């Protein structure tokens, strides 16, 4: 069998009986939208993420915009976010009328550089055109951003902090989940994410009941107490009951899968650290390894070599957002984003999932080691 970049079938085989039963139960009761599994899953998800409350929604992109809408962001507001991330992080900012301001990343963890965030905030204040309002930190490739430093900056400048944990749900820093520092944390259940469903899904974690209530209204067209009096301009963003039922079963084995992912990551580091740059995780951090990303001078050569050897790879992200057509006109922090631009040419993600066998992993390691380019 061909080596998979992310093997979802192995996990499915493991819990197929429970998934079939859970899906069957939903088909029997027929409450396909906002059925009992949705609330049940939200409770379990909140408990897992050390949150008071979780609110499920239709996808991880909506999960990023729901807190921004709830905090009242709009025209004239600056939202600081990385450029070295998936488009969804920045995409939702202009939806609210606010302006994304791109911030560079740290060269070792690929997460937001707190010093450059400070510089970007100073630049926006000096220019005086936009008002700094919020920061979106991303837990890129599965590891937590430097939340103590980012939260301190946000506190000093009166900014909201959102953790876009679409790749990092389950990650911790000193044993605490990102919400410990952030005002809200969002995640995605896209199938390939560490905690994925069998379609689209997302969620927001919060410790603020009034924010939860606001988002609960937004996700159902701005509903009010009176069914026929909508109180907000909302949207339709609910997690399907079937997906919630599937996620309950997947969440039940997620803690164990995080341990398995870390064992795979450790084994890669042992096998590869002397030939390529292997990942650095922030001190005190535990990654959920959405990606295992190495760096090398001849990235495209290595990718072609691995493809020849039957090893699938991916480059996240070859072109940072601020260089992409739709985002070119948005501001970047002082001095530009040299790290984001350089990394795009060097990074390569290797097959990573909890069920990667030692034999398959050896094929990957040997193939990387066999590259002489």
Ligand X SMILES: *Cc1c(COP(=O)(O)O)cnc(C)c1O
61 near ligand X (CB under 6 A): yes
Q: Which window, 35-43, 54-62, 154-162, 236-244, contacts ligand X (CB under 6 A)?
A: 54-62
Cβ distance to ligand X smaller for residue 327 or 371: 327
Report, in Å, the least distance between residue 34 CB and ligand X: 19
Nearest to 212 by CA among 31, 33, 42, 37: 42
Q: Which single residue brings its beta carbon nearest to ligand X?
A: 60
Considering beta carbons, is residue 150 or 368 the nearer one to ligand X? 150
Nearest distance from residue 88's CB to ligand X, in Å? 4
How far apart CA 269 and CA 286 sit, in angstroms, is 15
- 176 vs 171: CA distance, rounded Å: 8
3-state DSSP assignment of residue 31: coil
113 vs 93, 147, 158, 179, 355, CA distance in Å? 20, 11, 19, 19, 33
**Least distance (Å) between residue 247 CB and ligand X:** 13
CA-CA distance, 195 to 141, in Å (whole number)? 13
**Alpha-carbon torsion (362, 310, 110, 175), positive or negative:** negative
Among 42, 164, 183, 211, the residue binding ligand X under the rule CB under 6 A is: 164
| 128-157 binders of ligand X (CB under 6 A) | 138
What is the rounded distance in angstroms from the CA atom of residue 293 to the CA atom of residue 349? 4
- Please name every residue paired with 370 in a beta bridge, in sequence order, or none if there are none: none
Per-residue tokens: 119: 């510089």
121 vs 12, 201, 256, CA distance in Å?
A: 45, 33, 40
Taking CB under 6 A as the criterion, which residues in 65-94 touch ligand X? 85-86, 88-89
Contact between residue 311 and residue 348 where contact means Cβ atoms under 8 Å apart: no
Q: Which of 56, 59, 109, 349 binds ligand X (CB under 6 A)?
A: 59
Contact between 282 and ligand X by CB under 6 A: the answer reads no
143 or 361: CB nearest ligand X: 143
Which stretch, 44-52, 94-102, 162-170, 330-338, contacts ligand X (CB under 6 A)? Answer: 162-170
CB 112 within 8 Å of CB 146: yes
Q: Residues binding ligand X: what is the number (CB under 6 A)?
A: 16
| Number of residues written out for the chain | 373
Helix extents (H) in 137-253? 147-157, 209-218, 241-252
User: What is the nearest approach in angstroms of ligand X to the Cβ of residue 58?
Assistant: 8
Residue 171 binds ligand X (CB under 6 A): no
Q: Considering only residues 143, 167, 172, 340, which one is a binding residue for ligand X as defined by CB under 6 A?
A: 167
Q: Closer CB to ligand X, residue 88 or residue 154? A: 88
Which range in 24-32, 60-68, 216-224, 275-283 contacts ligand X by CB under 6 A? 60-68
Sites of contact with ligand X (CB under 6 A): 59-61, 64, 85-86, 88-89, 138, 164, 166-167, 188, 190, 200, 202
């Amino acid at each position: 069998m061909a080596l998979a970049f992310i093997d979802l079938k192995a996990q499915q085989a493991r819990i197929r009986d429970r998934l079939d039963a859970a899906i069957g139960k939903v088909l029997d009761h027929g409450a396909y939208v906002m059925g009992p599994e949705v609330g049940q899953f939200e409770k379990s998800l909140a408990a897992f993420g050390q949150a008071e409350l979780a609110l499920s929604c239709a996808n991880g992109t909506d999960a990023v915009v729901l807190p921004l809408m709830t905090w009242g962001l709009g025209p004239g507001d600056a939202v600081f976010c990385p450029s070295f991330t998936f488009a969804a992080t920045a995409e939702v900012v202009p939806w609210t009328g606010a302006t994304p301001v791109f911030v560079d990343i740290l060269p070792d963890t690929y997460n937001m550089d707190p010093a450059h965030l400070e510089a970007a905030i100073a630049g926006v204040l000096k220019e005086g055109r936009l008002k700094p309002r919020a920061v979106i930190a991303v837990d890129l490739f599965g590891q937590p951003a430097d939340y103590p430093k980012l939260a301190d900056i946000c506190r000093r400048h009166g900014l909201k902090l959102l953790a876009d944990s679409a790749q990092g749900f389950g990650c911790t820093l000193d044993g605490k989940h990102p919400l410990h520092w952030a005002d809200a944390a969002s995640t995605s259940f896209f199938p390939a994410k560490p905690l994925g469903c069998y379609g689209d899904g997302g969620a927001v974690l919060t410790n603020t009941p009034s924010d939860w209530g606001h988002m609960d209204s937004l996700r159902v067209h701005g509903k009010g107490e009176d069914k026929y009096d909508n109180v907000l301009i909302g949207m339709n963003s609910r997690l399907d009951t079937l997906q919630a039922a599937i996620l309950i079963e997947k969440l039940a084995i997620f803690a164990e899968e995080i341990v398995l992912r870390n064992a795979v990551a450790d084994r890669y580091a042992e096998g590869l650290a002397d030939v390529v740059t292997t990942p650095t995780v922030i001190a005190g951090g535990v990654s959920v390894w959405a990606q295992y990303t190495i760096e090398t001078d001849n990235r495209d050569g290595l990718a072609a070599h691995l493809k020849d050897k039957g090893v699938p790879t991916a480059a996240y992200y070859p072109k940072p957002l601020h260089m992409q057509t739709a985002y070119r006109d948005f501001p970047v922090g002082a001095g530009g984003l040299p790290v984001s631009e350089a990394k795009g040419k060097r990074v390569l993600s290797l097959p990573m999932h909890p069920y990667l066998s030692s034999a398959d992993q050896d094929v990957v390691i040997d193939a990387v080691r066999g590259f002489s380019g």
